[in-house]
Structure 1
Amino acid sequence: MSKMNNSTPRPFQFVLTGIPGFEAYHIWISIPFCCLYTISIVGNTTIPSVIHREPSLHQPMYLFLFMLALTDLGLTLSTLPTVMQLLWFNIQTITFEACFAQLFLIHTFSFMESSVLLAMSFDRYVAICRPLHYATILTNKVISRIGMAIVFRCVLAVLPSLFLLKRLPFCRSHLLSHSYCLHQDMLRLVCADIRVNSWYGFALVLLIIVMDPLLIVFSYAMILKSILGTSTKTEKLRAFNNCLSHILAVLVLYIPMVGVSMTHRFAKHASPLLHVIMANVYMLAPPVMNPIIYSVKTKQIRQGLLHLFIRRRVH
């Protein structure tokens, strides 16, 4: 009996939420979602393929872009199954284990997105502020180590929150607020002391979500100082153009992120529809927009895409 009383209640499954108030139109809403997911998957598989096939793109900047595309692809594939099965087939349930697996993947890839953008800002800093040492600082060995550090950093950051959450009893409603599993969303269903989880989550926000953009801003302050110190207007424009794609990618990630945070903090009693829309924008904007940004703004990527399509037509 004591073992039964001390056991942690586990829900067999959680219930996902679609678009509140528009459940009857899910099949129509699935059309733009399907288009966005298709753009993301095609874009984030094509760019790594181009970089892999073109020896001229085996440079630090494009290797980091390779990492960013794979991260965006992972984030897309993490949310796609539950979102589309809900919109297409109205399947709202997800098992306990599958929900935790999705939570782990979503948060890991979200943190990796921020970490890769930080690494790319370091690449731009070295390229503009230390151009003579660029090739010696960012060697392939260093880049591979940075990539491994990003993976270990994000996985090791998310795992403790997963274990801390899994030990808690879920004895309230099993209805989640989104069509995928998020840590904060699952945490509100717990009927136990969640202070440790909350403090750990707060520490992660400070160490990654706050620290990364601050370091990116610092690197661009140094870059701006170096750009303003250049002698000619042409050099200033060239340096700024080299950073533009990365700046846009940073804005695409952090503007929706700030919007979601502000909504949760200051609009708690707002319509659930607003929260769902903001969360979907945050999840879909970077994977959809990044391939477009780099394809449009980066000449070498455009040329690589052209060569790839020409080869396919020839074969």
Structure 2
Amino acid sequence: TQFVALIIMLFLYFGIMFVVYILIICCNSTILYIIWIHKSLHEPMYIFIAALLFNSLLFSTTVCPKLLIDFLSDKQITTIWQCSFQSFVYYSLSGAELLLLSAMAYDRYVSISKPLQYHAVMKQKIVRLLLGLAWLVPACQLVPSVIISNTEKMCTFTVNGIFCNNSISKLFCMNSVASTVYVMYGVFLITNAVFVPLIFILFTYIKILAICCKSSSDVSKKAFQTCSPHLLVLISFSCLCSFDIIIARLQINLSKTTRFILNLQVVLYHPLFNPVIYGLKNSILIKLIKVLVNDKMWPICEIKILITLL
């Protein structure tokens, strides 16, 4: 009976996760496609939105396919190099998420504070530079920690989680010196990759709020409409980062079910949350999504009409 219940539960988890992962791919890809085909949207704001959604798509793809395979496997096995690579990509994309949100905050600040100089400041070269740094800097910062951990011997072969995150460091037998260096570099990473971007974003939005207070109601309303999605995404992602730092890093004891649900929120909730927020909060994207849906559904409607007439 317990074996049958376990099989049913695994297939249930597989079904839910598969459906959500398909939704993540479809929602993010739809907005990416709309931004790609409409040249009028090839502006810094929409380019950053596209980059953020593409990052979310990569973020979920780093974990979901492997988890789906594990649900259908008798034994959940991975190699240390696969685990290290998954952890490396996972945290690289997490750092890129915060830097992309920082770039978006700076873009909104320039557009609101210096509207006449916006295109002169946010040139294509600047946008490309910000995008490149957003993905390159977190990856480069993680290289030393990967080298430190993987030069040590392994003491245990069981990862405390459903995928390879910060808990991978507990697999290695580190001496006191290596452990101290690893912890100190971890503090540097958290400060540099999490707190610095968050402080910059908060400072930027405080400046935007100060400008809005001195401006007319129309300017304030427009600023709120463009900035509110970024703030919602920032709050969402900050909560998920806090979970990873507090739970995974400090090794707080939680039940397997609670840890499983919280881990799934990290890889499923946020990548699905981003396109919904930007799709619902942006009137231009809403109109283009409706046009795209109507265009795609029109041939199906025609077929139904023909079948009915026949």
Establish whether TM, by shorter chain, passes 0.5: yes
Does structure 1 residue 204 correspond to structure 2 residue 186? no
Does structure 1 residue 69 correspond to structure 2 residue 45? no
Instruction: Determine if contact 1:54/1:304 at 8 Å carries over to the other structure.
Output: no
In structure 2, which of residues 155, 163, 171 is the aligned counterpart of residue 189 of structure 1? 171
> Corresponding residue for 1:51?
35
AA at the equivalent of 2:229:
S
Aligned residues: 292
Instruction: Determine if contact 2:138/2:193 at 8 Å carries over to the other structure.
Output: no
Does structure 1 residue 221 correspond to structure 2 residue 209? no
AA at the equivalent of 2:196:
M
AA at the equivalent of 2:85:
A
Summarize the Cα distance change of 1:256–1:22 in structure 2 as closer, same or farther, 3 Å threshold. farther
Superposition CA RMSD, Å: 2.0
Instruction: Determine if contact 1:177/1:276 at 8 Å carries over to the other structure.
Output: no
AA at the equivalent of 1:306:
K
Summarize the Cα distance change of 1:261–1:23 in structure 2 as closer, same or farther, 3 Å threshold. farther
- Cα distance in structure 1, aligned partners of 2:263 and 2:180: 24
Q: Name the structure with the higher helix share.
A: 2
| Percent pairwise identity | 23
Which stretch of structure 1 is more off in the superposition, 274-283 or 210-219?
Answer: 274-283
> Corresponding residue for 2:304?
none
SS at 2:78 equivalent: strand
- Cα distance in structure 2, aligned partners of 1:201 and 1:228: 39
How far the C-alpha of 1:263 sits from its partner, in A, is 3.7
Instruction: Determine if contact 2:88/2:142 at 8 Å carries over to the other structure.
Output: yes
In structure 1, which of residues 168, 172, 176 is the aligned counterpart of residue 152 of structure 2? 168
How far the C-alpha of 1:77 sits from its partner, in A, is 0.7
Which stretch of structure 1 is more off in the superposition, 124-133 or 288-297?
Answer: 124-133
Q: Deviation string for 1:247-276 (max 9, x for gaps)? A: 111111112222343445778133243233
- Cα distance in structure 2, aligned partners of 1:196 and 1:229: 48
Does structure 1 residue 177 correspond to structure 2 residue 180? no
In structure 1, which of residues 240, 255, 272 is the aligned counterpart of residue 239 of structure 2? 255
- Cα distance in structure 1, aligned partners of 2:196 and 2:23: 30
For structure 1, the 5+ residue unaligned runs are 1-20
> Corresponding residue for 1:302?
286
The TM-score, its normalising length taken from structure 1, stands at 0.86
Summarize the Cα distance change of 1:294–1:90 in structure 2 as closer, same or farther, 3 Å threshold. farther
How far the C-alpha of 1:24 sits from its partner, in A, is 6.0
- Cα distance in structure 2, aligned partners of 1:23 and 1:169: 35
- Cα distance in structure 1, aligned partners of 2:78 and 2:90: 15
- Cα distance in structure 1, aligned partners of 2:279 and 2:142: 32
Which stretch of structure 1 is more off in the superposition, 287-296 or 31-40?
Answer: 31-40
For structure 2, the 5+ residue unaligned runs are 300-310
How far the C-alpha of 1:312 sits from its partner, in A, is 3.9
Summarize the Cα distance change of 1:41–1:99 in structure 2 as closer, same or farther, 3 Å threshold. same
The TM-score, its normalising length taken from structure 2, stands at 0.88
